[in-house]
A and B are shown apart, each in its own frame.
Chain A
Amino acid sequence: MAEFIEGIVKVWNGYGSSFLNGALNTLIVSLVGTIAGCIIGFGVGVVQTIPTDKKDPLWKRVILTVVNLILKGYVELFRGTPMIVQSVFIYYGVRMVFDYQMDVWPAALFIVSINTGAYMAETVRGGILSIDPGQTEGAKAIGMNHFQTMMNVIIPQAFRNIIPQIGNNFIINIKDTSVLSVISFADLFFTHKSAVGALYLYFESATITMAIYLVMTVTASALLRLLEKKMDGDDNYDLATTDTLAYTSGLLSYHPKEKTLEDFK
């Protein structure tokens, strides 16, 4: 045991700041990837739920069908292949095909974003479908178009409903970005590999890495719960009047009284 603790201290003394730096990089790439993925997901989700009508002009229906096919292909491609393979494919593929050497950071952010986007697209679609169709009808009935309905009514509600899933994705990203070490992205796992390469203290270094990952994921899920609570708002509301009799309005004794617009000026 003493030896184990000694080993941990040794790893930490040698690589402590690298571990923290790696953890920071992991956090940044996961956070940016999750946010960008959400934006992609919302874009794809909204386009995929545009209603088509037989009365719409042909060009609109053709464009929508083609766009939807492309989006579906995107979702299937990035959901259906491992991120570790995507990383290698994109990082080295770009160099081969376009003769352009991507930097590691943009490559990492790009890969995590489009990967998360593919998952989020389906999550957002589910979130949109989960909202009562009555909400859409209510919005249509006051003259809103599809875009206005989405932005003002459906997406705010869908977003609230999918926060747990967004949190899931964020936590998955914190862990799964470890695969980016294949393109030499200096994340937490990459630091671990460097540390064991130099010190040969596998178990000790892994223990530190595990602990840091766990701290990050547990903190993330606690913060997300807090966000959910905040979005739900207060359970109570204030009556916008000082008239105590107002508390009974809406019960049996409602008598309409005549007022004109002038009274409110």
Chain B
Amino acid sequence: MSENIIEIQHLEKNFGSHKVLSDIDFSVKKGDVTTIIGVSGSGKSTLLRCINVLETPSGGKILFHGNDIDEKGFSVTDYRAKVGMVFQSFNLFSNMTVLQNCMVGQVKVLGKKKAEAEEKAKYFLEKVGMLPYINAKPKQLSGGQKQRVAIARALAMEPEVLLFDEPTSALDPQMVGEVLAVMRQLAAEGLTMIVVTHEMAFARDVSNHVVFMKDGVIWEEGTPEDIFANPKKEETKDFLSRFIN
């Protein structure tokens, strides 16, 4: 079990008396592309936010390389630097240029030299096709461009795992394509990713592990073939049939 990068055990999350997640168990190995699917409000995003400690879990454990992230002495900021996150609403720093967005974490958090950070930022911006825009401010970019910069910003930290919280949900169909292209490429290169998405084709073709959630519970999980070709539960079939039509 030690090769698991992230292991989630009996995770629970309540907002007041409202139970959002109950008894979530799953693990992620190096190179895994895990997609989490399910209707809106099923707790997918909350699960991802718990993994990055943007929400504090109400119960259960999250282990990172076998270490409990809730343990005393475990540095949450160091952990976050290794577990990147890409948001639905991009969350680029609006006071910085594209290049600065991709450099600030490397310089301030990882303590890299500016020149080195710039080189790395440019490398990852090239990868997502945004190198020409290094001098632009986020407000001057389209949604798809912003999301590609946000991906480059996360990659520039060279995380062990990258979390995607519905990265294409705020984009129009044309822009969805450009962001998914980048994500496919990253998956092909072996980046470990956990992706919350409504893009079923991406889940089917790119991921090697699919988790179907409903009402805060993992209803069914398995390989894409298991879930998409032979779903066992009625609820899973129901959910998928709505997307296939």
Q: Name A residues whose Cβ lies closer than 8 Å to a Cβ of B.
A: 53, 55, 132, 134-135, 137-145, 148, 152-153, 156-157, 160, 233, 237-241, 243, 246, 249-252, 254-256, 259, 261, 263-265
Contact = CB atoms under 8 A, between A and B. Distances in A.
A263 B142 CA distance: 27
B131 A141 contact: no
Contacts of A145: 77
B108 A140 contact: no
A157 B80 contact: no
A53 B123 contact: no
Contact of B93 (A55, A135, A251, A256): A135
A135 B122 CA distance: 22
Interface residues of B, number: 58
B39 interface: no
A139 B93 contact: yes
B167 to A, nearest CB: 13
Contact of B185 (A134, A144, A256): A256
B131 A142 contact: no
B222 interface: no
B122 A144 contact: no
B46 to A, nearest CB: 14
Nearest to A253: B178
A233 B157 CA distance: 28
A8 B89 CA distance: 63
A251 B144 CA distance: 9
A240 B177 CA distance: 24
B77 A138 contact: no
Given A55-B56, A238-B135, A240-B134, A250 B105 contact: no
B153 interface: yes
Contact of A143 (B70, B78, B174): B78
B109 A53 contact: no
B40 interface: no
A261 B70 CA distance: 36
A157 B131 contact: no
B29 interface: no
Given A144-B105, A157-B95, A239-B135, 18 more contacts: A141-B91, A142-B80, A142-B104, A143-B78, A143-B80, A153-B104, A156-B95, A239-B133, A240-B132, A240-B133, A249-B132, A250-B148, A254-B181, A256-B128, A261-B123, A263-B123, A263-B126, A265-B119
A108 B109 CA distance: 42
Contacts of B135: 237-240
B81 A259 contact: no
B93 A153 contact: yes
Contacts of A148: 108-109
B92 to A, nearest CB: 7
A137 B81 contact: no
Contact of A142 (B56, B145, B157): B157
Nearest to B184: A256
Nearest to B188: A256
B54 interface: yes
Contacts of A53: 56
Contacts of A261: 119-120, 123
B132 A254 contact: no
B93 A264 contact: no
B84 A138 contact: no
B145 A250 contact: yes
B4 to A, nearest CB: 21
Given A144-B105, A144-B108, A157-B95, A264 B81 contact: no
A227 B148 CA distance: 32
B94 A143 contact: no
Contact of B105 (A55, A143, A160, A239): A143
Interface string B138-168: 0011101100101001100100000000000
Contacts of B56: 53, 55
Q: Which of the listed residues B82, B91, B92, B120 has the most CB atoms from chain A within 10 Å of its own CB?
A: B91
Contacts of B204: none
A117 B46 CA distance: 40
B185 A143 contact: no
B201 interface: no
6 contacts: A141-B80, A152-B93, A240-B135, A249-B129, A249-B130, A261-B123
Contacts of A55: 56, 70
A152 B96 CA distance: 9
B200 interface: no
